[in-house]
Chains A and B, each alone.
Chain A
């Protein structure tokens, strides 16, 4: 049984259809990438999975639980965490407060302390800046904070929306390392990227989304050789 199973999912903004009959699966411990142009519906799919948007039809199943009618706070507490596009850290809260709030779904205080320690050892720059306002960090540091925040509740599935957007190449590499490390702990990763090359080389399986529909899917290594993908997304 797949870790996450989305079946025939459709979502609307008013009368505009943003997702049309999308189905996808993610095996436990795999990295699954979702690529596609701006407005293809990648973020909409993510927001539906985390419960911020309520899909119009279709089902979402995670570890045997149905998510499509659940609230975001329930979904986080069930082990699915979402690091949103554009980082969205709370700018006028300190790094430490951002991380603490990331763990608001965790009731066990010693567990929170343990996660904080883990974050600070994984992202030493955050430990250095723990008393600083998140808004004063650089773009790359904010991305680290956003990822660390999403990892605070020790999710079993992490959704990363455009983690490399606007980052310097050296920071993109850092993000790649982190994603590999997260997966090595057995966490499933659902990765949304416009940087198709990064997404395809990092992931095990890839879905290509176009105007709200799944256009193509398959093992990433195979899609990398696919002419359509090469032309449209890799520019070769």
Chain B
């Protein structure tokens, strides 16, 4: 019983790390552009397909495919920001909600049309490597995913805290006009924010595609769960997002393991409802 518990904890942490990658991008866009991006799940889906096709059509190994997907989606996301989101900068939130919801539906259906609905798997080639320790079980693939997502999260944190562009992003999030007056190129900050957000989503999509499946509708529930994470964390808090993501991963994994796997997608939302009832100021306290 305890072994099962710890096995589920391990799985939950891995899942949580992937959720962190997705939710961080969403949180950055929300904090810096003051927009909700419901099409973020489709960035994740398209990234997964980019990696899949890089492997099946170009024959590159898993990690190269992951890199291609990240770079490709960074570019695509920046383009989408420029063409779709830039015109509504500074407008009320409802604009980005509706616009991104439309974009989400359009991208998912285009993917369905071109890529077809049958789920496909990304083969990392590491699933056969197995580790056993303390009665727990871990594939090489999951270990690689865990390490990789931790590296990406730490890399992002370093970027935001230490680099010039990262500081510019924080300045825009905290006071856009003050940032403009100081000479920050706000448009470039917007492009970079979307590029990072898309790249992280692509990495997450590729990893999930390796652990589970790639399909055109894979982004739908993920984007909603990511919003739950962002709400739990409070906008613009990197550490909060990481904690909330791991929490959601654990809730989903433990709920799936001990209650019923059939409702695994419901647990995060149940947690959100409970939070709204008992701690409406948010998990990490007030504003």
Contacts and interface: CB of A to CB of B under 8 A. Distances in A.
A153 B167 CA distance: 17
B180 interface: yes
Nearest to A159: B181
B70 to A, nearest CB: 27
A214 interface: no
A39 B178 CA distance: 20
Interface string B157-179: 00000001001101100110111
Interface string A57-98: 000000000000001110011000111100011111100010
A101 B175 contact: no
B284 to A, nearest CB: 14
A72 B181 contact: yes
Contact of A72 (B171, B174, B175, B180): B180
B184 interface: yes
Contacts of B174: 90-93
A221 interface: no
Nearest to B165: A104
B181 A50 contact: yes
A42 interface: no
Given A84-B177, A88-B175, A88-B177, A93 B182 contact: no
Interface residues of A, number: 27
A198 B230 CA distance: 47
A161 B170 CA distance: 24
Contacts of A92: 170, 174
Interface in A89-130: 89-93, 97, 100-102, 104-105
Chain B residues touching A, majority SS: helix
B181 A82 contact: yes
A50 B179 CA distance: 12
B171 A93 contact: yes
A101 B179 contact: yes
A156 interface: no
Given A52-B177, A91-B174, A102 B167 contact: no
A13 to B, nearest CB: 13
B181 A90 contact: no
Contacts of A153: 183
Given A90-B170, A93-B170, A73 B183 contact: yes
B182 A102 contact: yes
Interface in B177-205: 177-185
A101 B180 contact: no
A54 to B, nearest CB: 12
A101 B185 contact: no
A63 to B, nearest CB: 17
Given A93-B170, A97-B167, A77 B175 contact: no
A105 B183 contact: yes
A88 B178 contact: yes
Nearest to A92: B174
A101 B184 contact: yes
B178 A76 contact: no
11 contacts: A73-B180, A73-B185, A90-B175, A93-B167, A97-B167, A101-B179, A101-B184, A104-B183, A104-B184, A149-B182, A153-B183
Given A71-B185, A89-B178, A101-B168, 6 more contacts: A81-B181, A88-B181, A89-B175, A101-B171, A104-B164, A104-B182
Interface of B: 164, 167-168, 170-171, 174-175, 177-185
